[in-house]
């Protein structure tokens, strides 16, 4: 018996060492956790700091996807509406105020609003004898989660999660070379956003000497100022500004679209947060949850994730959704399925917050559930496929012929964070894995950074899983 135990311990130690030698591909100080499980037998293949809580970044979206599938259901759609009373329509006039009810639809576009207003006009309304209320009752609280980096809030991947969303609360533009000394700014003239620029074009040497970069200052009412410097480019430098004041942005769009479709408003466009009980005169529905999750997981769409997160809180507690009740709703929904997230810390649905904390072991609980129930959930089909689509199409951590289309995984990246969670198909069967890299700082030496990097580590880690299944 003693010999058997010694032999088992010796083999286990060798096995663990074979995996730990992969850490030589990471810079010193990198915080690493991973867990690999045989999907069929549920046996742990290898585990390293699997109970340690780490910053999850966008792999957090897997939790949101599962909770939404379970609680909201496949047929869920966001429904935006114009509300009022049909009794108040007479001789081309609407006597009173109308409400445009926003519900946090992350796919609602300006053209959708125009179509809704045209349908309103077809009901015989050419004049609104009152105000046009933009209703935001669906969500309340902060439009960004606690723990988001303040200097990211001006760009589109952190567009505010508000009940009022139009065009993803994002405005695109670019910086051109201008006169060669000062960059020229272009923003489409139809966009109700005021942006000024004083960006200097300098050489690489001048940029380094002055310690300057492209900077943005945010002001009230969707006003921004670009400043700092940039080096010359062969083409325009693309810009993507987050709409920090969703109400004013939507209000200006609606004023413009009312004129465009020929509806006269005698009152004002105002914000309202009252609970609405009036009739739905016009409705617009988003795509179904399945298609929303496909976009969210393949492309790591933060706005879809946080809108669904708040919607979970709203539906579960029958109140306005926010980050707090969304977090509690998610945990309770998963707990009812036997997934106890223990001492994890959940702040949002996207993973943008630095306050989120999850472990490899907790993520594996979620991944196991998804795998076991995938015939009904169909979530794995929305994961990016290595070398084929989504965030794994050009991901260097899976850029190897041995991994192409054998790995499906959700990525999670932010400054100092590079995580992967998913499934590897091997000759022996499917393997489930979670690998969390935190506190990652790349080496500056070009000759070493190719070999010692997160990409090299992830490739070798995943290749080892594939080869393990071929033994």
Active-site residue set:
58, 61, 300
* 383 closest CA partner among 425, 421, 419: 421
Neighbours of 203 (CB within 10 A): 11
* 270 closest CA partner among 259, 284, 285, 255: 255
Query: In the structure encoding, which two tokens stand for residue 117, read together?
Result: 């207003």
Query: In the structure encoding, which two tokens stand for residue 219, read together?
Result: 């002001």
Query: In the structure encoding, which two tokens stand for residue 76, read together?
Result: 């869920």
For residues 360 and 421, is the Cβ–Cβ distance under 8 A?
Answer: no
Query: In the structure encoding, which two tokens stand for residue 440, read together?
Result: 């990652």
Query: In the structure encoding, which two tokens stand for residue 108, read together?
Result: 């609602």
Q: Which residues pair with 218 in a beta bridge?
A: 224
Query: In the structure encoding, which two tokens stand for residue 74, read together?
Result: 């496949």
For residues 83 and 280, is the Cβ–Cβ distance under 8 A?
Answer: yes
| Rg of the chain over all Cα atoms, to the nearest angstrom | 26
Residues ≥6 apart with Cβ < 8 Å to 211: none
In the numeric block, the tokens 């947060």 are attached to: 273
Query: In the structure encoding, which two tokens stand for residue 250, read together?
Result: 């939507």
Three-class DSSP category at 37:
strand
First vs last Cα of the chain: how many Å apart?
A: 28
Neighbours of 379 (CB within 10 A): 23
Q: Which residues pair with 81 in a beta bridge?
A: 101, 283
In sign, the C-alpha dihedral spanning 151, 293, 365, 28 is negative
- Separation between Cα atoms, residue 470 and residue 466, nearest integer Å: 7
Got the DSSP string for 96-164? S-EEEE----TT--HHHHHHHHHHHHHTT-SEEES-EEEE-TTB-S-SS-TT--GGGTTBGGG----S-
Neighbours of 132 (CB within 10 A): 24
- Separation between Cα atoms, residue 424 and residue 83, nearest integer Å: 49
For residues 247 and 100, is the Cβ–Cβ distance under 8 A?
Answer: no
* φ, ψ for residue 106, nearest 5 deg: -75, -5
């Amino acid at each position: 018996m003693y010999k058997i135990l010694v032999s088992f311990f010796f083999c286990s130690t060798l096995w663990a060492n074979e995996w730990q030698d992969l850490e030589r591909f990471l810079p010193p100080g990198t915080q690493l956790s991973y867990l690999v499980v045989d999907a069929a037998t549920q046996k742990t293949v290898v585990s390293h700091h699997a109970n340690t809580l780490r910053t999850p970044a966008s792999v957090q979206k897997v939790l949101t996807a599962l909770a939404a599938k379970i609680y909201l259901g496949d047929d869920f759609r966001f429904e935006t509406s114009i509300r009022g009373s049909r009794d108040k329509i007479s001789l081309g006039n609407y006597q009173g105020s109308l409400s445009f009810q926003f519900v946090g639809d992350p796919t609602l576009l300006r053209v959708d609003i125009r179509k809704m207003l045209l349908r309103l006009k077809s009901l015989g309304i050419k004049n609104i004898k009152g105000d046009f209320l933009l209703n935001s009752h669906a969500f309340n609280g902060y439009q960004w989660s606690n723990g988001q980096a303040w200097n990211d809030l001006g760009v589109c991947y952190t567009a505010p999660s508000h009940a009022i969303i139009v065009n993803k609360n994002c405005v695109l533009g670019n910086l051109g070379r201008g006169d060669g000394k000062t960059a020229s700014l272009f923003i489409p003239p139809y966009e109700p956003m005021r942006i000024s620029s004083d960006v200097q074009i300098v050489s690489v040497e001048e940029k380094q000497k002055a310690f300057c970069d492209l900077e943005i200052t945010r002001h009230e009412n969707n006003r921004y100022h670009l400043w700092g410097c940039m080096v010359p480019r062969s083409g325009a430098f693309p810009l993507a500004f987050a709409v920090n004041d969703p109400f004013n942005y939507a209000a200006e769009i609606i004023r413009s679209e009312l004129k465009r479709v020929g509806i006269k408003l005698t009152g004002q466009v105002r914000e309202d947060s009252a609970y609405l009980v009036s009739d739905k005169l016009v409705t617009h529905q988003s795509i179904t949850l399945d298609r929303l999750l496909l976009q969210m997981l393949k492309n790591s769409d933060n706005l879809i994730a946080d809108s669904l997160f708040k919607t979970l809180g709203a539906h579960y507690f029958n109140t306005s959704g926010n980050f707090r009740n969304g977090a509690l709703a998610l945990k309770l929904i998963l707990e009812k399925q036997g997934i106890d997230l223990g001492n994890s810390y959940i702040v949002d649905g996207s993973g943008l917050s630095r306050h989120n904390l999850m472990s490899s072991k907790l993520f594996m609980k979620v991944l196991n559930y998804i795998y076991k129930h995938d015939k009904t959930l169909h979530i794995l089909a929305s994961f990016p496929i290595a070398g084929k689509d989504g965030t794994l199409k050009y991901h260097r951590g899976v850029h190897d012929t041995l991994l192409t289309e054998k790995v499906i995984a959700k990525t999670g990246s932010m400054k100092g964070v590079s995580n992967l969670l998913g499934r590897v198909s091997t000759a022996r069967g499917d393997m489930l894995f979670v690998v969390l890299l935190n506190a990652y700082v790349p080496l500056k030496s070009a000759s070493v950074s190719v070999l010692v990097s997160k990409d090299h580590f992830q490739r070798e880690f995943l290749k080892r899983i594939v080869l393990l299944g071929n033994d």
